Structure 1
């Protein structure tokens, strides 16, 4: 990636975060009663040839299938968490593979017109790579959802070898969200009694060392952070989530998304979307069921203040949660009841949404039926 492109990308990203910050911060305080309502895009239409039900004005296509060649590379099984990165006039979509032993991650490079230029592996030899998160310095954090799992920092451009980041903890990792304002990384844990963590690097931009804290209760919605004594415990020693007695626990931590002042994260066991407000030092549920959204999982957002939440099961929808408290479906996959939606991520210009159906129409546990999609339309910026 050229230096000029890198600087332009970072500047654009920071501008978007700054714009969205007030929206997210206000939403954390005001989204007390999210309820089903009318989508800003209108109702879903009939399923298209690929089984996607979309609002009027939106179109979809399949960009990759597990086990089949895309851009000269066999696309991985069980596609999971993903993110997009700018690359000159085009962009890259990165996707994890949630299978044992050979998991890792792959990338698809798109040209400016949306055609696929090539695909390639960026991480191999890891296990059950579930979600993760993008960094402001354009790397992808691929997280292992396994006992004593690691975070791997990978290069979406395929130029540098992936590096494990053990200082970020050895536990059943799910997602990561970078907070450039406070120079920390938030981490979720997919256990029935999982925790919510904060990693503070010794040097921002270098994740090789730092301090791991766990979120603890301080009464009501108020919370505080306490250090994890041993972030990389031996197999038989006390695991991270049990090392601090005051730690808050969330059932099945999943997706994680930060926008200048608020970090949203989901818990599928709780069936909630939680919001951690940095300034107020509070955590509260901004979605607690009662709407069209079920099986809350991966999450992403837009500078407009809209959240997009993918369903693990449910009726296979991606739902929008607007700043004024409306939850509504923006996409549904028919005929895939044994799968889950993973890896929602927007292209750098915000006009294309990428995501996968991890097991597709086959519902195979090995994930060989995975399908990766693209939806194009007038998404709110």
Structure 2
């Protein structure tokens, strides 16, 4: 039997056969299957910025690699990658963006006023290497992750020009993304290598990230039928857990990518097998909420950076594929559908999706643009639910 058919039958039938449909429906939601978007179909032709959007949405370009951010004297960086938005306390917000290039990476920021007008742009981290994704903290800082063998996590202040601080206790490995659980007072981290691990970090004194315990996950059970859970093994912060003795006690995840916390759940993606996972720290439960092998007509390929809207829709950016930003709806009847598509950027990838604090604007980048070099950062506005 082909793998995707086996997985599909497992996801659809295992809980039903053992516990009956009522219990299974109440206790576990099946992985997302292709379905209609809550925003309707995307347009058949691109707008002036090269985006195919649902009806009612508009776009603009807010920055291009090598050019001054409009209205400022700041030159936008190469290879824009992971990003997030931060409230500035005066009605405005800041969008931060990593630069995924060797040696001269770092993080840039664009500041907006309450009307969405650009008022400033500046650097918040310099002289780091291959800054890929990262994650925001509840206390308003940006954690920028270096994606190389001995890469670190850097904590940055997004609200003014500055230089971030290295947080060595979070490990030295091929970092991708990080999510912060303010209830459990822990951080969760992905590692972008075929034998990468999924980590959690417990600060010695919350919320300081200067010291603490780093652990890697061991997966037990079947993540397709709701029986899976994590246990945790302490590891050294000096190098990847895949290179320590702990590799025999922990589980490899194939190319860890985006990571996001929301309402008691940590979501993360693995690009090697094109999956989206959900972990509930309070119970230890682990679910697969998306696997492209289950449905051959699924639109989502090359899972990468993720973020969540106010409605609980999980937005997943594609690295490659047809360059779509897809969404996975919440609830027991999860569906996956395209939200937008980028035309003319075939050698690029979508990166850094993030919503403004009011949830009305979505930011993201085409990392290499139409020419393979010039990154483009977009804003999409419209009736987000």
TM category, shorter: 0.7 to 0.9
Deviates more, 1:239-248 or 1:60-69: 239-248
How far has the Cα of 1:218 moved from its partner?
3.4
Aligned to 1:198: 200
Q: Distance in 2 between matches of 1:34 and 1:308?
A: 13
Q: Partner residue of 2:102?
A: 100
Unaligned stretches of 5+ residues in structure 2 = 1-23, 223-227
Note the 1:343-362 alignment, pairs <5 A.
343-362=352-371
The answer to whether the Cα contact below 8 Å between 1:181 and 1:260 also exists between their aligned partners in 2 is no
Extract unaligned runs of 5+ from structure 1.
1-25, 234-238
Aligned to 1:66: 65
* Greater Cα radius of gyration, structure 1 or 2: 2
Q: Measure how far apart 1:222 and its partner are.
A: 2.4
1:345 aligned counterpart, secondary structure: strand
CA distance in 1, matches of 2:218, 2:201: 14
**Alpha-carbon shift at residue 30 of structure 1 (Å):** 3.5
CA contact (8 A) 1:217 1:246 kept: no
Matches within 5 A, 1:1-381: 30-45=28-43, 46-70=45-69, 71-87=72-88, 88-158=90-160, 160-220=162-222, 221-228=228-235, 230-233=236-239, 239-243=240-244, 244=246, 245-289=248-292, 290=295, 291-323=298-330, 324-363=333-372, 368-380=373-385
Contact 1:82/1:133 (<8 A) preserved: yes
CA distance in structure 2 between the partners assigned to 1:379 and 1:337 by the alignment? 27
CA–CA distance in structure 2, aligned partners of residues 308 and 370 of structure 1: 20
Runs of 4+ in 1 over 3 A off after TM superposition: 26-31
Q: Distance in 2 between matches of 1:158 and 1:308?
A: 28
Q: Distance in 1 between matches of 2:282 and 2:117?
A: 43
Aligned to 2:9: none
Shift of 1:48: 0.2
User: Is the contact made by 2:125 and 2:162 (CA closer than 8 Å) also made in structure 1?
Assistant: no
8 Å CA contact 2:123, 2:162 repeated in 1: no
The two structures have a TM-score, normalised by structure 1, of 0.88
Q: Distance in 1 between matches of 2:25 and 2:119?
A: 39
Using the alignment, how far apart are the partners of 2:237 and 2:83 within structure 1?
25
Aligned residue for 1:283, secondary structure, equals strand
Aligned equivalents of 1:296, 1:27: Cα separation in 2? 27
What do the CA deviations read for 1:269-318 (whole angstroms, capped 9, x no partner)? 01000111223312231100131111000001123221000000110010
Alpha-carbon distance in 1 for matches of 2:381, 2:91? 17
C-alpha distance in structure 2 between counterparts of 1:39 and 1:281, whole Å: 30
RMSD: 1.6
3-state SS of paired residue (1:222): strand
Structure 2 CA distance for aligned equivalents of residues 28 and 196 of structure 1: 28
CA contact (8 A) 2:126 2:163 kept: no
